Amino acid sequence: MRNFILAALLIGATTTLKAQQEISYEVSFPNAVHHEAEVSMIIPNVPANVPLKVRFARSSPGRYATHEFGKNIYNLRAFDANGKSVALKQPAGDVFEIAKPSGKVKITYTIFGNWIDGTYAGFDEAHAHMNIPAVFAFPVGMDKRPRTVKFSYAGKADWKVATQLKPIGNGVYYAKDFQYFMDSPIEIANYKNASWEVKNADGKTQTIHLAAHSDDDEMTVFNYTNMLKKVVDEQKAVFGELPNFDYGHYYFLHCVHPSYAGDGMEHRNSTVIVQRTPKIAGNESNLLGTFSHEFFHAWNVERLRPKTLEPFNFTQSNISDELWLAEGFTQYYGNLTLKRAGFRTLDNITRTFNG
């Protein structure tokens, strides 16, 4: 019994320690009609006597160039544990510094987002579409700390969240560290969800989801999922197994509208696919190309990964000599598996390979 109590105390202490380390965000959309979101970030246990630097990212995984994400941020303020305003310096456009932080610091800011793709963010009446590096500030030097994020979307009763972040209840989503958080795009919308289960070589069952934010009926999304299944099965056959998705789920986050920017961006347990057609209906076969490419990345670049991209550096462009393998083979097998699944002819895909 004594050992039990000791163990319980130790577990309690570890949990408390973890909770004290956790960086927690809250995001709301009171002015979505003007493409704004409000973000707050609480950093507990900030080391004393060292200036605290908070900054925005300049790059995003899978997009091998720099982006000044901080340019879309304004009204940034800092507060201490008592809610008292704290003085900030701004040594660079996207870097903020508190000279003498107290134990707990809260940062709040407004972000403008009106570019729907796999890199930036967009907020409007239809959805909140977020690539994490484009939205979330982070404290420098705390990459190991877990993150939580909670969203408020009062007045949007039909919105729901789709993301590879781990849901931990009460509308809170969790990432074990900075790298996983930054790799986890989020779509909040009245999307249609279709999912299916896949059994892996080791007998483990996982679920693949299509969150389709489009002007389509349930039947179209369901039928499209059946096409997608065939592509996934062909890709499983290439490797002999599907990846072991971190929480047993993989998400296709799909936004479809002619006004959006077309894009596809791979992540570890999800992909963001933005397509510029009016609907999925009538365009199914064409749209599948990006799905096939991005899903192939779940292995090739996400798990078979150039060393040069680990860990990803969010403050500069990430130079790698191995992208011919990451992108070239993905492009090749993306098309080949479409042909094997019956959605392209040999002639179709050889023309693609010719450029």
The single residue among 63, 127, 192, 209 that binds Zn ion, judged by CB under 5 A, is 127
Q: Give me the 299-328 binding string for Zn ion, x by CB under 5 A, dash otherwise.
A: ----------------------------x-
In the complex, least distance from residue 136 CB atom to Zn ion, rounded to whole angstroms: 18
Is position 209 an interface residue for Zn ion (rule: CB under 5 A)?
Answer: no
Written as one letter, the residue type at 49 is N
In the complex, least distance from residue 232 CB atom to Zn ion, rounded to whole angstroms: 17
Q: Which stretch binds Zn ion (CB under 5 A): 31-39, 67-75, 131-139, 252-260?
A: 252-260
In the complex, least distance from residue 71 CB atom to Zn ion, rounded to whole angstroms: 22
In the complex, least distance from residue 328 CB atom to Zn ion, rounded to whole angstroms: 9
Q: In degrees rounded to 5, what are phi and psi of residue 322? A: -110, 15
Any idea how long the chain is? Answer: 355
Q: What is the DSSP letter of 34?
A: G
Q: Which stretch binds Zn ion (CB under 5 A): 8-16, 33-41, 83-91, 124-132?
A: 124-132
- Using CB under 5 A as the binding criterion, the count of chain residues that bind Zn ion stands at 6
Distances 329 to 240, 296, 297, 324 between C-alpha atoms, Å: 17, 9, 9, 7
In the complex, least distance from residue 47 CB atom to Zn ion, rounded to whole angstroms: 39
Closer residue to Zn ion, CB minimum distance, 182 or 189: 189
Q: In degrees rounded to 5, what are phi and psi of residue 222? A: -60, -45
The single residue among 189, 212, 231, 298 that binds Zn ion, judged by CB under 5 A, is 189
Is position 165 an interface residue for Zn ion (rule: CB under 5 A)?
Answer: no
Distances 292 to 85, 239, 331, 346, 352 between C-alpha atoms, Å: 49, 14, 9, 16, 14
Closer residue to Zn ion, CB minimum distance, 133 or 289: 289
Closer residue to Zn ion, CB minimum distance, 127 or 156: 127
CA separation for the pair 111, 162 (Å, rounded): 20
Q: Which stretch binds Zn ion (CB under 5 A): 78-86, 161-169, 207-215, 335-343?
A: 207-215
Is position 255 an interface residue for Zn ion (rule: CB under 5 A)?
Answer: yes
Instruction: Tell me the H-state helices in the chain.
Output: 2-21, 132-135, 178-182, 218-239, 284-296, 323, 329-340, 346-353
Closer residue to Zn ion, CB minimum distance, 53 or 213: 213
Near Zn ion in 213-242, by CB under 5 A: 213
**DSSP calls for 299-318:** TBTTTB--GGGSS--TTS--
Closer residue to Zn ion, CB minimum distance, 117 or 234: 117
Neighbours of 60 (CB within 10 A): 25
265-296 b/e with 16+ CB inside 10 Å = b?
A: bbbbbbbbbbbebebbbebeeebbbbbbbbbb
Closer residue to Zn ion, CB minimum distance, 138 or 151: 151
Closer residue to Zn ion, CB minimum distance, 79 or 112: 112
Contact residues toward Zn ion (CB under 5 A) are 127, 129, 189, 213, 255, 327
